[in-house]
Structure formats: C-alpha cells, structure tokens
Amino acid sequence: MIAEDVALLREGLAAILERAGHDVLAAVGDADALLAYVEHAEPDLVVTDIRMPPDFSDEGLRAAVAVRAAHPEIAIMVLSAYIADAYLADLLDNAPGGGIGYLLKDRVGHVREFLDSIDRVAEGETVVDPEVVRQLLRRRRDDGPLAALTQREREVLALMAQGRTNGSIAAELVVSEAAVRKHVGSIFAKVPIEPAADRRVSAVLAYLRESG
C-alpha cells in the first residue's frame, strides 16, 4: 500500500513498484484512507509519507504507528522529505515484527536503491537513511543510557541503526571486522538490553529512543 498526498509522486511510486513485480493494493492520499485500507486489504508492506492532509504535520507517521501497533507483522517504509522523530520510537517499540525503513525523498539517488531498500524492509530488516541517523545523533541527550559509550562506539551504533552488517561497518570505518565485533560487544555491555530481545535490535532501539 502507498500513502502519499502528491498525486504524481503517488502514481509514480505505484508504477515503479508494479514494474518491479510488486502488487500495489491501494494508493491513497491521506492517513485516514491508509488506516481504512490497511484493515480491508491487509498488505505486507506500507509506504507512507509523513506530512499529509488535513494538517500536513505528522499524520502519516502517526498512522504508521497505529498500523504497527495493530499489525506488527506489516512492514513499514516511511518515505518523506522531512525528519520527524516524535513518533519514531513508538514505531520501533512494536518490534520484533515486520521491517522498518525511513528514507528521505531527495536522497534516493536511484530507483534500484529504493527498490533494494523496499525488498530489505519487506524481509524484516531495518533500513534508515544515514542522514536521518546523523540528525538524530546530533539531537541526542547527553545524560541518557548511551552516555557511557565512547565516540567510536556511538559511530558503530549509528551504523548499526542503518541496518549495516559488521563487515559493512568495518569497511565504512576502515577497521577490522574483529575490532567492530569488540565495539559491538562493548555496546551490548553498556546499553540496557530488553530481556529476551535480540541484542542488536534492542541496542538500536535504545539509540533511536535517546536520539529522539
């Protein structure tokens, strides 16, 4: 399902996804229609903007939170020109479940890149634009549960929040994969981990909550 108030972009997204082999069950222009169609159509994945009618504030993100709470198995891709983190932790708090993505429209350089991200989110992964992570990192509080992390550990955790593997993080930071594993282990030791939760997911959630 697609929720996007700009008609040309909405139809363009539908055409791109259909050409890639996806079935677009509905393409709607506001959050209320999104919520109504989700109950009727039961999609595997929702692609939604943040700012939609009537107020053009955070209707799409709040709708995504509602979908996630009612149907945690549905994957959510937030596709927006804005970074709005007020409800981001709420969206992630329903993990584990379907995948989560957050991409910025003007930073999607290629259709293939967008489709790859869609596929990863549909498979249950978390895909967050690096610029979203950087801005959330700049907004972080200094007295939260991540205060004990070193700068390098914060860099590793920020890349983890983008859905990067240890090998990819090592390549990005130009260090060995063994060094990354050491940093990840230290992060797990310092960050509060939810009981019985996936440690990597739990650490990323703690990072995104504090960043908000």
- Mean pLDDT of successive 10-residue segments in the chain (212 residues)? 96 96 96 93 94 85 90 93 73 70 91 95 89 68 68 90 91 92 88 74 79 60
Give the contacts of 139 (CB within 8 A, at least 6 positions apart): 85, 211, 212
Q: What is the CA radius of gyration of the chain?
A: 17
Q: Are 124 and 98 in contact (CB under 8 A)?
A: yes
With H, G, I as helix, E, B as strand and everything else as coil, classify residue 77. Answer: strand
For the full predicted model, state whether its pTM sits above 0.85.
no
CATH fold label, 2-128: Rossmann fold (3.40.50)
Domain boundaries, the chain: 2-128, 135-211
Domain 135-211 -> CATH class: mainly alpha
The pLDDT, as a whole number, for residue 193 is 74
Give the contacts of 210 (CB within 8 A, at least 6 positions apart): 140, 141, 144, 145, 146
